Amino acid sequence: MGRRVRVVFTKYDGRLHWHAWLHWLGEDEHGVWLAAPSGTVWQRGSEPGVALPPSVTLIPRDRWWVAAFNAPPAKYDMYVDLSTVPVWSGDEVTMIDLDLDVVRYRGDRAVRLLDEDEFAEHQILLGYPETVVQAVTETAQRLLADVVTAEPFTAAYRTWLARVS
Protein backbone atom coordinates (compact mmCIF):
# COMPACT_ATOMS: atom_id res chain seq x y z
CA MET A 1 0.00 0.00 0.00
CA GLY A 2 1.06 3.55 -0.65
CA ARG A 3 1.81 6.55 1.48
CA ARG A 4 -0.30 7.40 4.49
CA VAL A 5 -3.01 10.02 4.09
CA ARG A 6 -4.76 11.83 6.92
CA VAL A 7 -8.54 11.98 6.38
CA VAL A 8 -10.24 14.66 8.49
CA PHE A 9 -13.94 15.42 8.75
CA THR A 10 -14.93 18.48 10.77
CA LYS A 11 -18.34 19.86 11.60
CA TYR A 12 -19.52 23.22 10.23
CA ASP A 13 -18.46 25.03 13.41
CA GLY A 14 -14.89 23.71 13.04
CA ARG A 15 -15.09 20.91 15.63
CA LEU A 16 -13.08 17.83 14.80
CA HIS A 17 -15.35 14.97 13.73
CA TRP A 18 -14.20 11.61 12.28
CA HIS A 19 -10.53 11.27 11.38
CA ALA A 20 -8.07 8.51 10.50
CA TRP A 21 -4.83 7.68 8.76
CA LEU A 22 -5.48 5.69 5.56
CA HIS A 23 -3.22 4.38 2.78
CA TRP A 24 -3.12 5.71 -0.78
CA LEU A 25 -4.22 3.00 -3.23
CA GLY A 26 -4.51 4.98 -6.45
CA GLU A 27 -6.69 7.19 -8.61
CA ASP A 28 -9.14 6.70 -11.44
CA GLU A 29 -11.88 8.68 -13.14
CA HIS A 30 -13.91 8.63 -9.89
CA GLY A 31 -11.24 10.15 -7.65
CA VAL A 32 -8.64 9.02 -5.12
CA TRP A 33 -9.00 5.62 -3.46
CA LEU A 34 -7.68 5.15 0.08
CA ALA A 35 -7.34 1.87 1.98
CA ALA A 36 -8.36 1.20 5.55
CA PRO A 37 -7.02 -2.33 6.17
CA SER A 38 -8.18 -4.43 9.09
CA GLY A 39 -7.34 -2.73 12.37
CA THR A 40 -7.44 0.82 11.01
CA VAL A 41 -8.57 3.11 13.81
CA TRP A 42 -11.15 5.83 13.17
CA GLN A 43 -11.58 8.41 15.90
CA ARG A 44 -14.54 10.72 16.47
CA GLY A 45 -13.21 14.00 17.84
CA SER A 46 -11.16 13.11 20.92
CA GLU A 47 -13.21 10.01 21.79
CA PRO A 48 -11.43 6.64 21.94
CA GLY A 49 -10.76 5.21 18.49
CA VAL A 50 -12.66 2.29 16.98
CA ALA A 51 -11.27 -0.33 14.61
CA LEU A 52 -13.61 -1.08 11.72
CA PRO A 53 -13.70 -3.89 9.15
CA PRO A 54 -11.52 -3.31 6.08
CA SER A 55 -12.78 -0.68 3.66
CA VAL A 56 -11.84 1.66 0.85
CA THR A 57 -12.68 5.33 0.90
CA LEU A 58 -13.27 7.25 -2.31
CA ILE A 59 -12.38 10.94 -2.26
CA PRO A 60 -14.05 12.29 -5.41
CA ARG A 61 -13.09 15.42 -7.27
CA ASP A 62 -15.58 18.28 -7.07
CA ARG A 63 -18.38 16.35 -5.36
CA TRP A 64 -20.31 17.07 -2.16
CA TRP A 65 -19.66 13.60 -0.72
CA VAL A 66 -17.09 11.01 0.35
CA ALA A 67 -17.88 7.28 0.06
CA ALA A 68 -16.70 4.27 2.04
CA PHE A 69 -17.11 0.74 0.70
CA ASN A 70 -16.91 -1.81 3.49
CA ALA A 71 -15.92 -5.47 3.68
CA PRO A 72 -18.01 -7.90 5.77
CA PRO A 73 -19.09 -8.01 8.50
CA ALA A 74 -19.90 -4.27 8.31
CA LYS A 75 -23.64 -3.56 8.46
CA TYR A 76 -23.44 -1.29 5.41
CA ASP A 77 -21.59 -2.31 2.28
CA MET A 78 -21.54 1.37 1.26
CA TYR A 79 -21.70 4.53 3.35
CA VAL A 80 -21.69 7.95 1.69
CA ASP A 81 -21.11 11.00 3.88
CA LEU A 82 -22.54 14.22 2.47
CA SER A 83 -19.87 16.87 2.93
CA THR A 84 -18.30 19.93 1.42
CA VAL A 85 -16.05 19.25 -1.56
CA PRO A 86 -12.87 17.60 -0.18
CA VAL A 87 -9.77 19.80 -0.08
CA TRP A 88 -6.25 18.39 -0.34
CA SER A 89 -3.21 19.86 1.39
CA GLY A 90 -0.20 17.61 0.95
CA ASP A 91 -1.02 14.23 2.50
CA GLU A 92 -4.17 15.48 4.23
CA VAL A 93 -7.70 15.72 2.87
CA THR A 94 -10.36 17.64 4.79
CA MET A 95 -14.06 18.20 4.41
CA ILE A 96 -16.98 19.42 6.49
CA ASP A 97 -19.45 16.69 7.41
CA LEU A 98 -22.94 17.94 6.56
CA ASP A 99 -24.90 15.32 8.49
CA LEU A 100 -26.83 13.46 5.79
CA ASP A 101 -25.64 9.98 4.85
CA VAL A 102 -26.74 7.65 2.07
CA VAL A 103 -26.21 4.01 2.99
CA ARG A 104 -26.69 0.65 1.33
CA TYR A 105 -27.33 -2.29 3.65
CA ARG A 106 -25.25 -5.40 3.10
CA GLY A 107 -28.00 -8.04 3.23
CA ASP A 108 -30.93 -6.78 1.20
CA ARG A 109 -28.99 -3.89 -0.45
CA ALA A 110 -31.72 -1.46 0.62
CA VAL A 111 -30.70 2.18 0.22
CA ARG A 112 -31.59 4.74 2.89
CA LEU A 113 -31.04 8.40 3.68
CA LEU A 114 -29.94 8.85 7.31
CA ASP A 115 -29.78 11.76 9.77
CA GLU A 116 -32.34 14.10 8.23
CA ASP A 117 -33.22 15.25 11.76
CA GLU A 118 -29.61 16.18 12.50
CA PHE A 119 -29.35 18.04 9.18
CA ALA A 120 -32.51 20.06 9.96
CA GLU A 121 -31.27 20.85 13.48
CA HIS A 122 -27.80 21.92 12.31
CA GLN A 123 -29.23 24.20 9.62
CA ILE A 124 -30.50 26.35 12.49
CA LEU A 125 -27.94 25.62 15.22
CA LEU A 126 -24.84 25.93 13.02
CA GLY A 127 -26.28 28.40 10.52
CA TYR A 128 -25.84 26.53 7.25
CA PRO A 129 -26.14 28.98 4.35
CA GLU A 130 -29.01 28.32 1.95
CA THR A 131 -26.54 27.48 -0.83
CA VAL A 132 -25.09 24.68 1.34
CA VAL A 133 -28.55 23.37 2.25
CA GLN A 134 -29.55 23.32 -1.40
CA ALA A 135 -26.34 21.64 -2.59
CA VAL A 136 -26.55 18.92 0.09
CA THR A 137 -30.26 18.28 -0.47
CA GLU A 138 -29.86 17.99 -4.24
CA THR A 139 -26.77 15.78 -3.88
CA ALA A 140 -28.55 13.45 -1.45
CA GLN A 141 -31.48 13.01 -3.84
CA ARG A 142 -29.15 12.27 -6.75
CA LEU A 143 -27.14 9.78 -4.69
CA LEU A 144 -30.25 7.82 -3.71
CA ALA A 145 -30.61 6.88 -7.37
CA ASP A 146 -26.91 6.77 -8.31
CA VAL A 147 -25.90 4.25 -5.66
CA VAL A 148 -28.24 1.73 -7.30
CA THR A 149 -27.50 2.44 -10.97
CA ALA A 150 -24.24 4.34 -11.48
CA GLU A 151 -20.51 3.97 -11.00
CA PRO A 152 -18.54 3.96 -8.81
CA PHE A 153 -21.31 2.49 -6.67
CA THR A 154 -22.26 -0.56 -8.71
CA ALA A 155 -18.98 -2.32 -9.49
CA ALA A 156 -15.92 -0.02 -9.76
CA TYR A 157 -15.28 -0.11 -6.01
CA ARG A 158 -14.94 -3.90 -5.94
CA THR A 159 -11.48 -3.97 -7.51
CA TRP A 160 -10.20 -1.43 -4.97
CA LEU A 161 -11.84 -3.20 -2.01
CA ALA A 162 -10.37 -6.54 -3.09
CA ARG A 163 -6.90 -5.04 -2.67
CA VAL A 164 -7.67 -4.33 1.00
CA SER A 165 -9.80 -7.26 2.20
The domains found in the chain, sorted by start residue, are: 4-162 (2.40.380.10)
C-alpha distance across the termini of the chain, in Å: 12
Q: How confident is the model at residue 73 (pLDDT cuts 50, 70, 90)?
A: very high
The predicted structure's pLDDT at residue 2:
83
- Kindly state the average pLDDT of the residues 39-62: 95
115-132 residue pLDDT tens: 999 999 999 999 999 999
Rounded CA gap, 100 and 116, in Å?
A: 6
38-47 residue pLDDT tens: 999 999 999 9
Give whole-number Cα distances, 125 to 11, 57, 120, in Å. 12, 29, 9
- Kindly state the average pLDDT of the residues 135-148: 97
